[in-house]
């Protein structure tokens, strides 16, 4: 058997290079975050059309748009496979508000949503719908 004499510093240097290579590769392999398409919807109860990745979708809500009161978010997106909705406030930590919308028999994606109360009294929300990796951002204000 051959006796290989490596310098003591070589093994830690190789480990560091390997870790750096994995980190660099993961940055290139990670899918880029696609910026959300902004949509101003004057009446979410009536529904609003939008174009997402070249496809026309329609979204809206059913029920009262109030905090602590369940309402339904719906999205008509023919051919979509996965739809999630998250709710945030600009500059405010409102906790984890992520919902998976499930298709009904007609193919309309739906989820029952309940928003928390903001302790500062704010009512300005942003709903972000993620449809098969594409995002649609919809600001709205809850009722009193």
Does residue 3 sit within a domain? no
Contact 92, 118 (CB under 8 A): yes
Does residue 22 sit within a domain? no
Per-residue pLDDT at 35: 85
Domain CATH number, residue 72: 2.60.40.1930
Does residue 31 sit within a domain? no
Does residue 8 sit within a domain? no
Given the DSSP bridges, would you call strands 37-38 and 134-141 parallel, antiparallel or unpaired? parallel
Q: What is the pLDDT of residues 4-31, one digit of tens each?
A: 676 776 666 666 766 665 555 545 444 4
Q: What is the rounded CA–CA span in Å between residue 106 and residue 115?
A: 26
Q: What is the pLDDT of residues 101-131, one digit of tens each?
A: 999 999 999 999 999 999 999 999 999 999 9
Per-residue pLDDT at 7: 73
Q: Where do we find the tokens 């979204």?
A: 59
Contact 65, 142 (CB under 8 A): yes
The domain tally of the chain equals: 1
pLDDT exceeds 60 at position 64: yes
């Amino acid at each position: 058997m051959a006796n290989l004499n490596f310098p003591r510093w070589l093994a830690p240097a190789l480990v560091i290079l390997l870790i750096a290579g994995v980190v660099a590769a993961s940055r290139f392999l990670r899918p880029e975050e696609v910026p959300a398409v902004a949509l101003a919807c004057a009446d979410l109860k009536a529904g609003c059309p939008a174009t997402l990745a070249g496809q026309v979708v329609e979204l809206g809500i059913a029920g009262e748009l109030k905090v602590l009161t369940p309402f339904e978010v719906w999205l008509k997106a023919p051919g979509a496979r996965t739809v999630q909705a998250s709710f945030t406030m600009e500059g405010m930590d409102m906790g984890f508000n992520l919902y998976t919308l499930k298709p009904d028999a007609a193919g309309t994606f739906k989820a029952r949503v309940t928003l928390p109360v903001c302790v500062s009294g704010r009512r300005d929300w942003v709903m972000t719908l993620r449809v098969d990796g594409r995002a649609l951002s919809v600001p709205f204000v809850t009722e009193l």
